Amino acid sequence: MSASLREPILDWYAEHNRDLPWRRPEATPWGILVSEIMLQQTPVARVLPVWAEWMERWPTPEALAKESPGEAVRHWGRLGYPRRALNLHACARAITTDHGGRVPSTYDELLALPGIGDYTAAAVASFAYGGSHAVLDTNVRRVLARAVRGEEYPPKAPTAAERRLAESLVPPVGAPRWAVAVMELGALVCTARAPRCERCPVTSLCAWRLAGRPAHDGPARQGQTYAGTDRQCRGRLLAVLREAHGPVPKQALDAIWADHVQRERALDGLLDDGLAETLPDGTYQLPS
């Protein structure tokens, strides 16, 4: 089964892959690491301009490490989940102090960096250094769930069985290209809500399609709400701090959200997460 899946998916990727800057030969390991963290739960279209700005401003880990964490948060813009900016800043400092400014090449070294999990370590080791790893992001997991296991969606969290399956499909040669090809298939064709089975290179082999595309029988998959949530409130508060380029009085934060209890809860969350800090005079700013 593995060989029969690999060839058509790789052929499809050769024709349909997107020209993304972090996939080009000149992409640096640092640029690839930045892209992988930015792309977590964020569409490519939103990441592209921010990634380009970051790489122009901070082309190396040392360049970012010299800045304050607040500058990383400021230039993260509206990508969402801004703790990722703090993780990248912490990574830059660790790479600079512990690895001589060079992004480490092994899975274990990458996994030891601040905020780096299994997926990102495997992805950077593969895409930056040609390592042979099972790279399991949401798109890959969905493709394998459908094509091999005949299930519409994978479990909420990766399982040992999923990892064994992914590892069994890794080719002896060209593992990074295989990983990105399956990822691209999930992003462009085998999508979560409206899979384009008629365009899929393995539609004739797909266990889910051959079974009649049975509906997901696990827990209901609910889309994330945003309007009116603490997350939206946090985003508005953070936007004020980002745009101020200096300390902000409490009144300026109070003015952006009417619900006092929710606003204070969201502000406390920003402080607890290290995304904001209070100065002795009672004003607020991005972390220094």
Whether 15 and 73 have beta carbons less than 8 Å apart is answered as no
Residue 49 CB partners (closer than 8 Å, separation 6+) = none
Cα three-residue angle 192-194-199, rounded to 5 degrees: 105
Residue 156 CB burial class (10 angstroms; 0-12, 13-18, ≥19) = exposed
Residue 39 CB partners (closer than 8 Å, separation 6+) = 47
Whether 208 and 200 have beta carbons less than 8 Å apart is answered as no
Residue 235 CB partners (closer than 8 Å, separation 6+) = 78, 80
Q: Which residues are catalytic?
A: 36
For residues 136 and 123, give the distance between their C-alpha atoms in angstroms, rounded to a whole number.
Answer: 8
Taking 3-state DSSP, the helix, strand and coil percentages for the chain, each rounded to the nearest 5, stand at 55, 0, 40
